[in-house]
Structure 1
């Protein structure tokens, strides 16, 4: 029976065969008494009908009706289609018919069949047209489809997938490898019981009701897959689930990282192809393949998967033995994808996030190159890469940018800024966080170290309307990052009024950034210039994201971030070496309530970093301990 598939069919190339000098009758039809003209016409129609038969959802009826034995030829043509797993075909009549007498003519057919998941197979067969009464028909023979099929022989297709290539870290160590997995599912029909489906829901987080609906609707005797899990995970579940009615399993391999959580949102996941992921996987992929669905596995699916190989053999219908190999295509191994990640730093990042009870993300980058060293989301595994894609108010970590903007207007780290309990800007009252008490006049450096909101907001009149936007651009904000996987480069729109400008100076209002972007901000201070982030060297755009920061600004920011650790709000990191950092607490409204996210960004040596804790009380209290753990785990 013809398979269905949402795959674009190749157009048929139908070349009209040569005709004799005789003209068709007045109705535009071939003269049945002119053997060359009549046979060419029926061969042309047959070729077009064959193309339709092998198209997605195609049926052989039209082609069969043009033969002298429709009831036997239709299933034969459909059976070869099914055996080859053809997704489309072109059938082209060649040259002129060769007529031996007035009732028998032959004409060659050039056939190209696209074998789904392998490639294009080409051959030449011969169509024999015979005159039956006043009509011309194609002789119903297996040789018309493929030479040598005859009445009983058949074609056998075998597809071979090469081993999937690994995703590598910056040192060439494999982050993924082909590991044993078990595909867990149920028998079609009503074999499985309510207890079986309940176990899928409880133990495998599979919707039991949906699985049951699929099983009931599937043809008899089929394996209905539900989920693919690591072999060691199935061994733990097998005593409880293995003997339940209807449960079936199949073994296999899948490209997986060392654990189910390791760099999951960056490396990505793999599943049996869907209509969407099959398109991304390319023309040689099959609907039964395991393909990348997210992350780098999705982005580099075709490179990692390589090209399948395959053979088609002509088999004896009685003995089932191979007569000859009629098609062979050598597969090509996939090519590894080398990333900028450092496996050790990635483990350190994930171990640090495991200490959090709240959703958190940590990004570490190499300040001198912009290359991403680690990107983790925790404490629970998630496919959503909020470390790269999250749109967050950066809070007081954005005072790095604000300080640069004020220095660009003529101020210095020693400029006196008044720190009050509150400040009113055109009817909007702003306050300080973390219980910071007003201390009166102090330097910009002190305001930075203590994270005094009112001190920075008091200077909003010193900046032009686009002052914050331009300063943010120096740190790479607002760019399309164009990484191999989705990432957000932050946004600092020009404020619509003084209130919006004041909010932007403390990283609130319309200012948004991802943890990746804030790690790049810290890296820009360490390096002296903003760089583009890079995850896959050679693929992601590298180099400068903006002009270098002014030397005096860079020097001042480095000092201010260092003293924030030695004697300011980031003191939690004081014992972790020569760390420079900035804390941040950002307000947001969620479900009608005002909550805060805790931030901390900074650098040590050539490693810059950013941490956000969703719902964290403050940067120092929530993000600080995570960073301390991270910095303790590597030198």
Structure 2
């Protein structure tokens, strides 16, 4: 019979060329491949959607012969791997062993959140039952070797965070023990609990209560991260309160909670925004930089996490084999130009102030930032870099350069009158100055006479102040690694605005950093770009050198302001040169003043502002005196 069949087939082949080796005959082999391949492709697409953010496994489960069990299994592997996305690509064509069983390999590439990319190949088996093709609901379809009971176990390993260093390579931050303090979700915490968070931890208790009530059951709702020693002091008051929970950990921190806080920055559990900044291998549970250098260099400091995925026996829980390994990479330190001792000195000087104040010190010859402090209380906002203030009479350094560039000299007569009127606008001097009448530019600078400088406004072109400011680096983008404001001196729209700009008022604004660089320009002779992180921040000259005669005149002006002018409070602290400033500002509808002083000694230039200060000489001066007396 087999011989006859063979002859028949051969005869048919010679006549029609259509004989099939399939048991079902005809072209059914191709039909099975197409039908099974179609359902496997549908399954692959449904798997991708199931592991997408907020994806559901039901559609993928519905394509299998045991929907409920498989959907739960697929979702469980997703949770175990913490997969953010996945691609599932069928390979080649299905292989059919008969008319009801076909298999096809699946190339799977999953992004394991916080670790990296894991790749593997699994096999989908399509079975035909009752005329319908279904995927066999096996764990091996997801990962080879899972079967019905085995499971995958992921472990993520974070490298130690690298340090931020000072100019000498000394660590400004190290990894220290911290405690994350929070509450249990729901209503376990009481009104007394939330009141304690407000009183002892400066956490808004009402907002924390709202978060706790909205959080899923059994969740830890974090409120604040504090140093371990701080928690030890608070433990007796907090730990017994209903609903209080804590978690231990480490965080990269400076030696004290206040040291260079606004510059170094802070760290906290990742938010949506800070997680984006932290890069693709960061996790929502990570402690990441939120401000300052910690934020700007988050990825460099954090390094790259590593991890493993192991296939484990479902009964014994023992590892069968490690199926994925991602090597981590240690973070790299960030070296800054900060001088640790000078930073401490600046902060100690600001601690003597009762008003908000900032102090910046730079190396005049390089523009490298030596200290940037804000006080008397620590703050996350770095107003020393980002504050936008009217610079007041410190800007007479720029005005003098503009007048000297317009042909005036140090002995040009500049009359100091009680007031001066410019097209209907009356300008006066600061309260401590008695008009002295006739005098030179040098005397007007030493005594900080507003009316004397404004009397020369007609000698300047409309853009003279803008151009003069540019010679000191004012008005350009600073391009620092952290946010910083370089100031602006817009071209005046009329004579009144021009007059105001000559005394650092009107539309003129600058940060303490920008004004410290103005003083540095007088010291060095050329405006330098500020540098905080060498190799990252652009270095070098920010403008062409000042004319030699202008440099000589301004250095004389600033030195004699200390030896016999408004900055005499600094006398006795070496060869200090300085300029005082008092700027009128409107705060909450009321006119007040900010006190300034800027100057240099040796190769160190500096500027200080005191918000609400009476005058540069009386309010800012004593802070600088304390600062200068503490280092040589």
Structure 1 length as normaliser, TM-score?
A: 0.94
Paired position in structure 2 for 1:227: 224
- CA 1:509–1:139: 2 relative to 1, 3 Å: same
1:468 aligns with 2:465: yes
Counterpart in 1 of 2:383?
Answer: 386
Correspondence 1:585 to 2:582: yes
Given candidates 162, 168, 184, the residue that maps to 1:171 is 168
CA distance in 1, matches of 2:158, 2:552: 56
1:31, distance to aligned residue in structure 2 (A): 8.3
For residue 273 of structure 2, what is the aligned residue in structure 1?
276
Gaps of 5+ in 2: 1-17, 19-26
Match of 2:549 in 1: 552
Q: Is the 8 A contact 1:598 1:614 kept in 2?
A: yes
- With over 3 angstroms needed to count, the CA separation of the structure-2 counterparts of 1:77 and 1:52, relative to structure 1, is same
CA distance in 1, matches of 2:94, 2:122: 13
CA contact (8 A) 2:29 2:99 kept: no
Q: 1:454-506: CA deviations, max 9, x gaps?
A: 11111111111111111111111110111111111110011111111111111
- Other-structure match for 2:75: 78
- For 1:55, the equivalent position in structure 2 comes to 52
Q: How many residues align?
A: 607
Deviation string, structure 1 residues 431-471 (Cα, Å, up to 9, x no partner):
11142111111111111000011111111111111111111
Q: What displacement does 1:207 show?
A: 1.4
**1:373 maps to which of 349, 370, 375:** 370
Which whole-Å CA distance do the structure 1 matches of 2:575 and 2:609 have between them?
Answer: 21
| 1:32/1:38 contact within 8 Å kept | no
| Matching residue within 185, 198, 201 for 2:198 | 201
The answer to whether the aligner puts 1:311 opposite 2:308 as a matched pair is: yes
Alignment equivalent of 2:148, drawn from 138, 147, 151? 151
Runs of 4+ off more than 4 Å: 30-33
Provide the C-alpha distance between the structure 2 equivalents of 1:280 and 1:481, rounded to a whole number of angstroms: 21
1:501 aligns with 2:495: no
Counterpart Cα distance in 1 of 2:52 and 2:65: 23
* Aligned: 1:629 with 2:623: no
Tell me how far apart the structure 2 counterparts of residues 270 and 153 of structure 1 sit (CA, whole Å): 39
Over aligned residues, Cα RMSD in angstroms? Answer: 1.2
In 2, are the aligned partners of 1:423 and 1:458 still within 8 Å (CA)? Answer: yes
Give 1:33 shift.
Answer: 8.3
Structure 1: tracts of 5 or more residues without a match: 1-20, 22-29
| Deviation of the 1:32 alpha carbon | 10
Q: SS state of the match for residue 419, structure 1?
A: coil
Q: What residue is the counterpart of 2:5 in the other structure?
A: none
User: Hey, what does 1:91 align to over in structure 2?
Assistant: 88
- Structure 2 residue 351 is matched with structure 1 residue 349: no
Is contact 1:31-1:38 (8 Å) kept?
no
Q: Partner residue of 2:12? A: none
- Normalising by structure 2, we get a TM-score of 0.95
- 1:448 corresponds to which of 445, 449, 461: 445
1:606 maps to 603
Provide the residue aligned with 1:331 in structure 2: 328
Distance 1:505 1:33, change over 3 A: closer
Q: Secondary structure at the match of 1:416?
A: coil
SS of residue in 2 equivalent to 1:112: strand
Distance in 2, Cα, partners of 1:321 & 1:216: 39
> SS of 1:442's equivalent?
coil
Describe the SS at the equivalent of 2:415: strand
Equivalent in 476, 479, 482 of residue 476 of structure 2: 479
Alpha-carbon offset, residue 188 of structure 1 = 2.1
Q: Does 1:321 align with 2:299?
A: no
After TM superposition, list the pairs within 5 Å mapping 1:239-318 onto structure 2. Answer: 239-318=236-315
Structure 2 counterparts to residues 560-599 of structure 1, below 5 A: 560-599=557-596
1:138 counterpart residue number: 135
